[in-house]
Structure 1
Amino acid sequence: MSALTVDHEPEHGWDDLVRIWLETDAPEGCKVEIVEGIVTVSPAPANKHNVIAGKLQRSLYKVIPEDWGIYQTLAVSVPSRSGLFIPDLVVVPESALVELSESEHFIAADASSFIVEITSKSSLRHDRVSKPAAYAHAGVPLYLLVDQWAQGGPTITLYGEPKDDVYRVLQAGKFGDEIPLPAPFDLVIDTGAFPAA
Structure 2
Amino acid sequence: MLAEEFERIAAAAGREGVRLEFIHGRLGVKAVPDGDHDEILRWLSKRCMQARPDLWLYPERGLRIEEYRKGYAKPAGALAPEGSFAGQGEWADPGKVLMVAEVTSYDSDTDLRDRRDKPLAYAQAGIPVYLLVDRDSCEVLVHSEPDSGTYAHLVRRPFGRTIELPDPVGFALETEPLKAWVR
TM-score category, normalised to shorter length: 0.7 to 0.9
Q: Which residue of 2 aligns with 1:5?
A: none
1:108 lines up with 2:96 in the alignment: no
Q: Which residue of 2 aligns with 1:53?
A: 41
1:149 lines up with 2:136 in the alignment: yes
The structure 2 residue matched to 1:133, chosen from 113, 120, 129, is 120
Q: Which residue of 2 aligns with 1:190?
A: 174
1:14 lines up with 2:3 in the alignment: yes
Which of the pair has more CA radius of gyration? 1
User: Does the residue aligned with 1:84 lie in a helix, a strand or coil?
Assistant: strand
The structure 1 residue matched to 2:12, chosen from 13, 18, 23, is 23
Shift of the 20–63 alpha-carbon distance from structure 1 to 2, 3 Å rule, reads same
Q: Which residue of 1 aligns with 2:28?
A: 40
Percent of aligned pairs sharing the same letter: 25
2:48 and 2:56 in contact (8 A); partners too? no
Quote the offset at 1:72 in angstroms: 1.2
1:69 lines up with 2:56 in the alignment: yes
Could you report, residue by residue, the CA deviation over 1:58-82 in whole angstroms, capped at 9, with x for unpaired residues?
000112243x321112111124273
Amino acid at match of 1:39: L
Cα root mean square deviation, aligned: 2.0
> Partners in 2 of 1:162 and 1:57 — Cα distance?
23
Return the TM-score normalized by structure 2: 0.86
Q: Which residue of 1 aligns with 2:158?
A: 174
Q: Which residue of 1 aligns with 2:65?
A: 78
Quote the offset at 1:164 in angstroms: 2.0
Quote the offset at 1:144 in angstroms: 0.6
Return the TM-score normalized by structure 1: 0.81
Gaps of 5+ in 2: none
Quote the offset at 1:193 in angstroms: 0.7
Amino acid at match of 2:158: K
> Partners in 1 of 2:94 and 2:118 — Cα distance?
11
Could you report, residue by residue, the CA deviation over 1:169-190 in whole angstroms, capped at 9, with x for unpaired residues?
3421111110012234332111
- What is the aligned residue count? 178
> Partners in 2 of 1:169 and 1:47 — Cα distance?
31
Q: Which residue of 2 aligns with 1:3?
A: none
> Partners in 1 of 2:85 and 2:168 — Cα distance?
20
Amino acid at match of 1:63: A
> Partners in 2 of 1:77 and 1:98 — Cα distance?
15
Answer with 163-172 or 132-141: which moved more: 163-172
2:31 and 2:105 in contact (8 A); partners too? no
The structure 1 residue matched to 2:76, chosen from 82, 88, 103, is 88
